[in-house]
Chains A and B, each alone.
Chain A
Amino acid sequence: MSCFSRAPGKSSAVSSLRKSIGLILELAKRDLTERYSGATLGAVWNFIYPLVSIVIYVVIFSSIMGARLPGSSSVYSYGIYLVAGIIPWTAFANTVSRMSSVYLEKKHIITKIHVDLRTFPAFIVVSETITFTVTMGIFFAFLLATGSEITYLIAFLPLIYFIQQLFAYSIGFFVGMFVVFLRDVKEMVAVVIQFWFWFTPIVYVYEILPDFAQQILIYNPALAFISGYQDIFVFQRVPGLSYLGLVFILSICLLLVANFIFTRLEKDIRDFI
């Protein structure tokens, strides 16, 4: 057995939690500013990319190519459908792929200072959430400008997002441990995410799929939250909460398993980095 007792006492759990939250926020802030450090516009670039993709999808697909959702006559309906899926998918995919390589990327810190390997990757979740929130804000502005309806359903948004990111965190944490031992896993994650994107109804509509494909796609957890956003923004209906509940339970199970593996591998992870 090995233990590293630091700052014993009653308030230790609370104060260590407060410290790791402070660390996560500081890292998230740096994450947003560092990526474009040196660029004149700096952190603004974080929001220019999503803005550009919204414009491309809405303008090109809807206005220029004239794509329409089945059963809808609105010019923008397909564009809104696309964006409603792509914004959360981007947050999800970025969280998973960046978390999977976080230990390697932050090697220069992990090998120098003691950090809690379980909690500190959460800075990625925070930083992606900020990007997500701003992009969603831009999307709202666009919806208001085009006269689309925003209903009370957006109250479900934080819940869906929470479940989605919890799921992303549990996968990222799980995969991240293996990337330390096998660098190829990082590339595999990129490939899997590509496939996953096209196995999720984001650019196409679930209903147009043949029956057997619909049956298979039900097992795709991403369908639960992506269709949730589409329900809110496009179809104006209450998202499938029990479906989301299953994803929540799945995430918790995955976290527990990952945590169990972590407790057994932490020593090796630190040795290998």
Chain B
Amino acid sequence: MIRVSGVTKRFKLYHSPRDRLKEILFRKQYHRDFTALDNVSFEVGEGETLGIIGQNGAGKSTLLKILSGVIIADDGTIEVDGKVTGLLELGTGFNPELTGVENIYMNGTFLGMSRDELDRKKQSIIDFTELGDFVYDPIKTYSSGMLMRLAFSIAIHAEPKCFLVDEALSVGDAYFQQKCMRKIQEFRAAGGSIIFVSHDTNAVKTLCDYAIMLEGGKIAMAGKPKEVVDFYQGLLLKKAHVGPSEVRVDRRVHADSDLHSDVSTGEVDVTSLRILNQAGEDVDSIETDDTIVIRICVQSRRYLDDPHYGFIIRNNLGVSVSETNTYCMGVATQPLSPGEVAVVEFEMAVPLAPGHYAVSVGVANRGWGYGNFEEYLHLMHDGMILTVMAKTDGIHFAGVFDMHPDVRIRQGRDAVL
């Protein structure tokens, strides 16, 4: 369990460290205050995972530093009923000249493990890293992935009550990331609390029980991971928008009482969103491999010289399974005059695995580069839910979608390699 209440951190910015001393001596202000964290409170219970998202400079690193005890908050309290360790990009304090094993002892001692404890756990720590004989080499020869393996293994073996994870995990290869994830799940199942800081919004949605979003050192939003992530992505789109009118992020409450975030400048309306089957009938449930048409009607209040339309299909974890838009598809579009309505239809077969999918649609203006837009005008999050059911005459398959494999089997005398 970790309880953070009212944590505030102000950095005093000086031109040089000397000014700090001058301030003490002459009792005159030589600094400018910068509030990195402003009254941040949350609680992560046993066996729970909290996701923290936010842009660069939102205060995530400061919060991690305070949680790991490297810097001290100005106000507020942090209660932990045990140790806090983690795998952080801000580093581990390894000594590059020492070997892997020596660093296990050094780092382990810093994390509060006794000599006996380290003697006992040494082998288990080394085994987990799978570094083999490399652990007897100075770690300056290690790759960043190898360092990450060592750091993770020591941190998780220190028997923390709260484990901090940030982007550092992404340094490892896919195999080791999976291994770490399993270990983290074990840790969580054993009652540990996890704080997960990431830009990977999909990971936040899949891993966390709830999430908070930091903006300018404050908690801008807290709640279910999906809601927080949608809100955050809306804000990112708003930042990427360079058009003259301002983008608003609205949280609207749907009938199913989940929060949705719409991002809009208010200049474009999506007047209707329909999913049609091949017979042209409205559907909200189809079978794998059925062909659907996503039809949207867009009305603009102003002149758009290069409008583009797109859709996103996301699974129940909020992970995008397919998304594209007319710009990315290389479609040349006609300008849209004020009041004019554009009806856009995307027709496609849906080879997706059975499950519930959310369809979001968006409108933007002036594409550039590799799928960027100068103006993000409207994004309707999860406008419709599409249910995909198993195809009655289809093959059984698991995963994300049916790749329609062909199979040939040869054996005995015919088996020519």
Residues of A bordering B, CB below 8 Å: 1-8, 18-19, 22-23, 26, 30, 34, 37-38, 108-115, 178, 180-183, 266-268, 270-272
Nearest to A106 among chain B residues (CB) is: B93
Expressed in whole angstroms, the minimum distance between the Cβ of A17 and any Cβ of chain B is: 12
User: Complex: how many Å from CA A5 to CA B69?
Assistant: 10
Residues of B bordering A, CB below 8 Å: 11-12, 17-18, 20-21, 68-84, 88, 90-93, 95, 97-98, 102, 105-107, 109-112, 114-115
Nearest to B116 among chain A residues (CB) is: A22
Given contacts A108-B95, A181-B20, 19 further A-B contacts (CB under 8 A): A2-B72, A2-B74, A2-B76, A4-B78, A4-B80, A6-B83, A6-B84, A26-B115, A30-B95, A30-B102, A30-B106, A113-B68, A113-B110, A114-B69, A267-B72, A268-B12, A270-B71, A270-B72, A272-B17
Nearest to B76 among chain A residues (CB) is: A2
Decide if B70 touches A4 in the complex (CB within 8 Å). no
CB-CB under 8 A from B105, the residues of chain A are 26
CB-CB under 8 A from B112, the residues of chain A are 19
User: Complex: how many Å from CA A8 to CA B161?
Assistant: 13
Contact of A114 among B68, B74, B91, B115 (CB under 8 A): B68
Decide if B114 touches A22 in the complex (CB within 8 Å). yes
CB-CB under 8 A from B69, the residues of chain A are 4, 6, 113-114
CB-CB under 8 A from A23, the residues of chain B are 109-110
CB-CB under 8 A from B71, the residues of chain A are 267, 270-271
Chain A to chain B: the 6 pairs with minimum beta-carbon distance, closest first: A114-B69, A112-B93, A109-B93, A112-B91, A181-B21, A26-B109
User: Complex: how many Å from CA A136 to CA B30?
Assistant: 50
| 28 A-B contacts (beta carbon < 8 Å) | A1-B75, A1-B77, A2-B75, A2-B77, A4-B78, A5-B78, A5-B79, A6-B69, A30-B95, A30-B98, A30-B102, A34-B97, A37-B98, A111-B70, A111-B90, A112-B70, A113-B107, A113-B110, A113-B111, A114-B70, A182-B18, A267-B71, A267-B72, A267-B74, A268-B12, A270-B71, A271-B12, A272-B20
CB-CB under 8 A from A30, the residues of chain B are 95, 98, 102, 106
Contact of B81 among A4, A8, A38 (CB under 8 A): A8
